[in-house]
Amino acid sequence: MSRRQYALPQRGAEHPPDDTGCTVLHVDMDAFFASASLLSRPELVGTPVIIGGGGNRGVVLSATYEARKFGVASAMPMSRARRLCPRATVIAPDHHLYSQISGAVMATFETITPVVEPLSLDEAFLDVSGSLRRLGNPAKIGQLIRDTVHDEQGITCSVGVAPTKFVAKLASGLAKPDGMVVVPRDEVVTFVQQLPVGALWGVGDKTEETLLRLGLHTVADIAHTPVDTLRRALGESAGPHLHDLSWGRDPRHVETQRRERSIGSDETFEFDVDDPAYIHRQLLKLSDRTAARVRSAGMLGRTVSIRVRFSDFTTITRSRTLRDPTDVSREIFDTAKSLYDALGLQRARIRLVGVRMEGLVESVGAPIQGTLDEPDHGWRDADRAVDRASARFGAGSVRPASLIPDGYRDKRRDEGPAKQRGKERDKELGQERGQRGPGLPNG
C-alpha cells in the first residue's frame, strides 16, 4: 500500500485528525530485520541491503527500502533477489539480535498498556483505552511509542491509529516507513472503500481472482454486492466476513494472550537431495529444534506434521495426531520419520523439508504419559538436560551423534580435509557423551 494510491484528507498541523474513540494501535517495525542488522553496520545505511541466506538456495528474510525499490521482497528466492539487485549487500540473519530487540520493544509496549497482542517479532496491536488519562490522546501515545522505540533501540516503526484492528493495520501500512496515520471514526468507511479488494485482511490470491472474476475491483464494489452473492461465491463464512470488513466493521478485541497455533522449523538445502539417510538426519535436527521451541514456550503438541518440497517446487504435507501430547524430541522425530518413509519417495529430489507441532496445549497440568520401554532417566530427562546445556553453552552444544558427521557434504569435498574433520568430530562426540552423563540415552 503506498501513500500515492490511498490517502486521507490532507490537514494542516492546526487541524489534526479527530482520534476520539481510536483506541486501537497497530505498531509495525520498519524493515525490522534489515534495520536491526544495520545497527552494527552504519556504513550500509541508505544502501540496498538484503537479509537472508548467503547461498542461492536461500530466501530473503528482509530487505532495506533501497533494495525493495528493485523489486526485492521477503520470502523471495535469494537467486532472484540477486538478479534484481546485484549491487545489494547480503547479510546473514542474526536471530538472537532480533529476539533481543523484539523483547525490548514489546517491553516498551507494556509500559504503555497491559493490553498488547503481538503478531510477530516486529508488530503488535495495542488497546490504549485504559491509558488515555495517564498518557493523553491516542495519537499522542502513538507518537510516544515511535519516539521511544527510536531513542532506545535505534530503529523506526510506523503506527496506525483507528477504532478497530483491521483499520489500524491498514493505516500502519499506509504510514510506512517511519510515519503515523490516524483514521477518524467518521472516515473509516471512506478510507476502507477506496482500497482494492486485495487489501482486505484474509484475501489471498485465489479469493482475489474470484472477486475480480465477479467484476469486484474495489472494496466499495464488495460493500454494494448482496451478501448472498458473496456467500455463494466465497463460502458461508468468508462472504459475510468480507462484507463486514468492506463497511469497516471488525468486532475483534485486542487479545492480551495470543497462543501460538503451531511451532515448527524448515530446512532449505543448498542443492537438491535424493539420499533418504540424509533426509532422516535433517528430520532429526528439525525435530530437535522444534521440540526445544515447544518446551521453551511451555507447551505440548498433539499433532506432528512434515512438509516436503520437491525440486519442481511441488509441496506436500502429512500429519499424524498422537495419543498423548508431547514435547519429547525423540517422539516427534520417530513420528516425522514414519510420515516421511510412508511417502515411499525412493530417490525423489527434494529441496526442503520441515517438521511442525500443532494442536498445542499448555504443558502445566497436562498429563505426561511415559512409555513402557523408557528408562528411568529417559528421553524427556535427556531433553531437559540438553536444554540446560544449550542455555549455558549455546544452541547446538549438545546434539544427537548422528548429526555430527555430515556425510552427504563430505562426499563432495576432498578426502584429506574430510578425514581431519572426522577426527575433530570424533573428539566432539566424546565430549558430548561425557556431558550427557550416565543413565541418559545417547542420540
Catalytically active residues are 123
Do 300 and 327 contact (CB within 8 A), yes or no? yes
Please report where in the chains the cell 525490548 appears, as a residue: 104
Distances (CA, A) of 424 to 75, 354, 410, 421, 436: 36, 29, 14, 5, 19
Do 33 and 62 contact (CB within 8 A), yes or no? yes
Q: How far is Cα 44 from Cα 47, in angstroms, rounded to an integer?
A: 6
Do 435 and 398 contact (CB within 8 A), yes or no? yes
For residue 264, count other CB atoms closer than 10 A to its CB. Answer: 20
Instruction: Tell me which H or E stretch contains 171.
Output: helix 165-175
* Peptide linkage before 177 cis (omega within 30 of 0): yes
122 marked among binding-site residues: yes
Do 125 and 117 contact (CB within 8 A), yes or no? yes
Q: Is the dihedral of CA 166, 167, 168, 174 positive or negative?
A: positive
For residue 359, count other CB atoms closer than 10 A to its CB. Answer: 17
Q: How far is Cα 243 from Cα 189, in angstroms, rounded to an integer?
A: 12
Q: How far is Cα 288 from Cα 294, in angstroms, rounded to an integer?
A: 10
Q: 63 by DSSP, 3-state: which?
A: strand
Binding-site entries: 28, 122
Binding-site entries for Mg(2+): 28, 122
